[in-house]
Amino acid sequence: MSEVILHLSPPQKEAIEDSGLGNLLKINKIHIYRDLCNEIARSYDKEKKSFNINGTFVTMTLDDVDCLFGLPSKGDEIFEAPKINKPELFNLYKKEGQTKITLEALREAIINSSSYDDHFIRRFILFSIGSFICPTTQ
């Protein structure tokens, strides 16, 4: 993520700010070990909807996510995902000859882009999700 941010032009950064995701631009380079991620995931108690940290249950709220990542936690509630199938977008964001959208393809497209249009923002959002929430296809 930090490498991608280094390659962004001022207009691209401004477009990301305008999309409400500007705090993602402040993320510094860090390395999180897979074992730590597994341990964090295992500490989550789904019945209590909280993390068990040394016997203390800590609940994570939308406001906490807003505070930590600067991601908007307010807005219209989404009850159901739109039923729109846009294969042309999928084909646009995957690499030629591949059958899925990869982080590498998104990273390359963002770094090599000189634009800051809707496609740029979509790629940045997909890259951010892939980097933080689901970094592997497993």
For residue range 60-109, list pLDDT tens digits in order: 887 887 777 766 677 777 778 777 777 888 888 888 888 888 899 999 99
CB-facing half-sphere around the CA of 16: CA atoms within 13 A: 25
Query: Domain extents for the chain?
Result: 2-77+84-132
Which among 76, 62, 71 is positioned nearest to 25, based on CA atoms?
71
CB of 94 within 8 A of CB of 101?
Answer: yes
Mean pLDDT within 48-54: 89
For residue range 102-133, list pLDDT tens digits in order: 899 999 999 999 989 999 999 999 998 888 77
Kindly state the tokens that stand for 74. Answer: 């307010």
- Minimum mean pLDDT among 2-6, 14-18, 36-40, 121-125: which range? 36-40
Q: Which residues contact 75 (CB under 8 A, 6 or more apart)?
A: none
pLDDT at 136: 60
Kindly state the tokens that stand for 116. Answer: 């800051």
Reply yes or no on whether the pLDDT at 39 is more than 60. Answer: yes
Reply yes or no on whether the pLDDT at 135 is more than 70. Answer: no
Between the alpha carbon of residue 71 and those of residues 54, 79, 120, 128, the distances in Å are 28, 19, 18, 11
CB of 3 within 8 A of CB of 110?
Answer: no
Mean pLDDT within 35-50: 87
- The overall pTM is greater than 0.85: no
Provide the angle, in degrees to the nearest 10, between the axes of the packed helices 103-112 and 118-132: 140
| Angle (nearest 5°) at CA 28 between 22 and 33 | 120
